[in-house]
Amino acid sequence: MLRYTINRTLMMIPTLLGVAVLVFFMLRVVPGDVVEVKLRGDGGNVSQETIEMERQRLGLDKPLKNQFADWMVGMVKLDFGKSMWTERPVTEEIAIRLELSLQVAIMATIFAVLLAIPLGTTAALMRGTMVDYIVRVLTIGGLSIPSFWFGMLIMMFLLGLFNWLPPITFTPIYVDPVANLTQLIWPALAVGYRYCAVVARMIRSSLLEVLNEDYIRTARAKGVFEKLVISRHALRNALLPAITVIGVEFAFLIGGLVVTEQVFNLNGIGKLFVQSVSHNDFTLIQGMVMLLAAIYVVVNLVVDLLYAVFDPRIRYS
Partner 1 sequence: MAMLAPTLPEPALSARPSSVVLEFSRQQPLGAASLVIIVVMMFAGIFSDLVAPYDPLQIDFAAILAAPSGDHWFGTDAYGRDILSRIIYGSRTALVIGFTSSFVGSVLGAILGIASAYFGGKIDDWIQRFMDILLAFPIIVLALVVVAALKAAILFGIDINLIVAIAIPIVPRVCRVVRAAALTIRVMPYVDAARAAGYSDSRIIFRHMAPNVVAPFLIMFTAFIAQAILLEASLSFLGLGVTEPTPAWGLMLSGNAADFYREAPWMILFPGAAISLAVFAFNLFGDSLRDYLDPRFKT
Q: Which residues bind partner 1 (CB under 8 A)?
A: 14-16, 18-19, 22-23, 26-30, 32, 127-128, 133, 136-137, 140-141, 143-146, 148-149, 152-153, 155-156, 159-160, 202, 205-206, 209, 241, 251-252, 254-256, 258-259, 262-263, 273-274, 277-278, 280, 285, 288-289, 292-293, 296-297
Output the smallest distance, CB 224 to partner 1, in A. 25
Q: Hey, CA dihedral for 161, 164, 166, 171, is it positive or negative?
A: negative
Whether the Cβ atoms of residue 165 and residue 155 lie closer than 8 Å to each other: yes
* Nearer residue to partner 1 within complex by CB, 173 or 241: 241
CA torsion angle for 295, 301, 306, 308 (degrees, to 10)? Answer: 170
Q: Which residues pair with 89 in a beta bridge?
A: 82
DSSP 8-class letter at 82: B
Nearest to 184 by CA among 101, 98, 116: 101
* Nearer residue to partner 1 within complex by CB, 153 or 228: 153
Helix (H) or strand (E) holding 52: helix 48-58
Burial of residue 9 (number of CB atoms within 10 Å: 0-12, 13-18, 19+): middle
* Nearer residue to partner 1 within complex by CB, 169 or 178: 169
Nearest to 103 by CA among 269, 284, 259, 307: 269
* Nearer residue to partner 1 within complex by CB, 15 or 171: 15
* Nearer residue to partner 1 within complex by CB, 19 or 188: 19
Output the smallest distance, CB 235 to partner 1, in A. 17
Q: 88 in the Ramachandran plot: left (φ > 0), alpha (ψ -120 to 50) or beta?
A: beta
Output the smallest distance, CB 172 to partner 1, in A. 25
Output the smallest distance, CB 21 to partner 1, in A. 8
Q: What are phi and psi of 32, to 5 degrees?
A: 120, 125
* Nearer residue to partner 1 within complex by CB, 222 or 313: 313
* Nearer residue to partner 1 within complex by CB, 49 or 214: 214
Give dist(CA 39, CA 31) in Å, integer. 15
